[in-house]
Amino acid sequence: MHGEVGACHEHRRERRDRPRARRGDVLARDVGDRAGAALRRKPGPDLRRQAAQGPRARLGVAAHPRGLPAPRPRPPSSDIGILDIRAKARRLHSQHKDGLGLIVIDYLQLLRPEPGADSRVEQVGQMSRGLKILARELNVPVIALSQLSRAVEQRHDKKPILSDLRECVTGETPVGLADGRRSPIRELVGTTPEVVAVDEHDCLVSARADKVWLVGRREVFAVRLATGRVLRATADHRIRCGAGWRRVSDLAVGERVALARRLPEPMAPDRWSDDSVVLLGQLIGDGSYVSGAPLRYTTASEDNSRAVAEAATREFGAIVNRHQGRGSWHQLVLSGNGNRWAPAGVNAWLRELGIFGQRSHRKRVPEQAFRLGADQIALLLRHLWATDGSIRTGERSDGRPITRVAYGTNSRGLASDIAALLLRLGILARTQVVRQGEHRPAHHVVVSGRNAQLRFLETVGAFGPRVLAAAALKARLAGHGACTNVDTLPHETWTTVRAAMAEAGVTHRAMASARGTSYGGSSHFRFAPSRTTVADYARLLGDESLGATAANDLFWDRVVAIEPDGVEEVYDLTVPGPSCWLADGIVSHNSGQIEQDADLVMFIYRDEYYNKEESEEQGLAELLIAKHRNGGLGDVTLTFRKEYPKFLNYAGERYGQ
């Protein structure tokens, strides 16, 4: 707001004999008129009427003893990008003895984006980083005027705050790390972790975050997806949708949201003994390792019982005692584990993993297990499924087949962990909540669809009580075709397909004939396309980009609900380069770029702008210093004369006393 005049006032504080370069959205003559109006304290309309009398009058308007004598070079075109600005600034800096005194960008969002950034958010991030590099290179202050998001207008208090430049998530949000772990963002504060990101081709890559920090307490919303994932974030947080990056506040139920279809294996995965992996899976499922009680394992499966006893004995030298229960149920007690003051054996191992003392509804897969290779991830899941997992086939009353692969637990965190482990193997599972009256709800991790279930049987497999059911399911699936209406691409993909057809000069009728389908006009484009369909179009058109879209690393989930979810502490991180990261597999945008790059962030707030009649602060403006890397923060009250326009020092009520 009033950026040209504010920038001119800043010019007056710079050295008068050093040139100022600026990029603006108004003509140089307009800047002169505004500066003249501000300096002479004459209303703009009066000056324009005076200027209309002729060139001599205009000279009188622009002339002022307190003007700006230093040259103020301006780019000849408003169509200019950050690379152009950097080149021109270097040239001007070298042409003058003392170099440039100040660079003003009015305003940031008007700069022409450089190639390579798909979304406007990424483009602004590139510009912000480019300006910071320029300021350091030339040792020249750069003032970048920027627009805030419209989110401020939706609040009761319209005063801008630093969080208006941020998009934040709650502390428990798991961040996908390149070493395989998924750490809550609150535990990454103050570090620069290597995270999993998505590049411009929608492929998974690793990138380093340059900062993770606590933002403060903010209102959050819960975005619930069809796969059962829940992202809790502020209204301004951006996530990847079919039409590009969208703020949480702009999302609608039914909109498609991007998830990772798989998670990459670490470059250097950890390796445990197989006995340790087997024992961990079995104990998480049917074991008890709470404080103040012996380590126990309860089962009705002889195969599971034997696996636990052998693994505990071989790996940790445990003494295993069996206690018979009803029917085939029995309990194994693992002793030889030391005590609370000197833990040993299995006890010490569980403490090292950070899971000792967890009750059933708080059980988790330890963070270290996510660093294992794919083969041991599969082994861990195989023994988890042997405890509380299910694999079955059957028929409905109408004769249609039922196939089910699922894991049940009353720990929400464990369900989320298991879904993430499956994603390491390229299996996208859904989590479902089943209410159980007064009892804690059950959380089911469900692998649905023929292709996903076959992949589960081939990579995870089965152990003990699940072996026969797995063989029956595999035989049943062999006789059925795959359903293609789940892993589809966003409807916006058809726009790319149509553009490729137009470029190749292929009509819809000709394409239908080439694909061996009947011509249906626009009806072919009413539904979200399957990957197979898009790959077919890409092959026939010879379009590699379209083929890459059909084979990318993203799964397009669907928003089922967006709900207010209280107020709590939120966190932020920035990832230069890909400008995104995975929040529990959900593709989330790099946050707070402008704020992170800036050494000083200031807002101008005029209450009368929002409350024209009711405001008690007519003619006043507040300069809000929200960030100062080398100084203090605070608010400064100014007088604003809108008829010039001009900001003046505020004398206050004491002046008239």
Q: Map residue 302 onto helix, strand or coil.
A: helix
- Is residue 510 pLDDT above 80, yes or no? yes
The pLDDT, as a whole number, for residue 94 is 87
The highest-level CATH class for domain 274-358 is alpha beta
> How many percent of the chain have pLDDT more than 70?
81
Higher-confidence residue of 646 and 355: namely 355
Question: For residue 524, how many other CB atoms are within 10 A of its CB?
Answer: 18
- CA-to-CA distance for 426 and 420, rounded, in angstroms? 10
The 10s digit of each residue's pLDDT in 194-216 is 999 999 889 999 999 988 988 88
CB–CB of 209/581 below 8 Å?
yes
CB–CB of 497/546 below 8 Å?
yes
The highest-level CATH class for domain 167-261+555-591 is mainly beta
* pTM for this predicted structure: 0.74
- Is residue 470 pLDDT above 90, yes or no? yes
4-18, 267-281, 342-356, 537-551: lowest mean pLDDT where? 4-18
**Whole-number mean pLDDT of the chain?**
84
- CA-to-CA distance for 54 and 608, rounded, in angstroms? 36
Cis amide bond preceding 645, omega within 30:
yes
The 10s digit of each residue's pLDDT in 438-462 is 889 999 999 999 999 999 999 999 9
Identify the band that residue 243 occupies on the pLDDT scale cut at 50, 70 and 90: confident
The DSSP 8-state label assigned to residue 550 in this structure reads H
Q: Map residue 528 onto helix, strand or coil.
A: coil
The pLDDT, as a whole number, for residue 48 is 59
The pLDDT, as a whole number, for residue 284 is 98
Residues 537, 540, 544, 546, Cα dihedral to 10°:
-10
The pLDDT, as a whole number, for residue 552 is 94
Higher-confidence residue of 514 and 520: namely 514
The 10s digit of each residue's pLDDT in 220-236 is 999 999 999 999 999 88
**Which segment, 161-175, 261-275, 436-450, is predicted with the most confidence on average?**
261-275
Report, as an integer, the average pLDDT of 554-558.
Answer: 96
Pairing of strands 102-106, 20-23: parallel
Question: Per CATH, is 1-147 categorized as 3.40.50.300?
Answer: yes
Residues 211, 212, 217, 223, Cα dihedral to 10°:
110
- CA-to-CA distance for 640 and 483, rounded, in angstroms? 65
192: phi then psi, degrees, rounded to nearest 5: -125, 75
- CA-to-CA distance for 261 and 244, rounded, in angstroms? 18
- Is residue 25 pLDDT above 50, yes or no? no
Question: For residue 65, how many other CB atoms are within 10 A of its CB?
Answer: 6
Helix axes 531-541, 508-515, angle to 10 degrees: 110
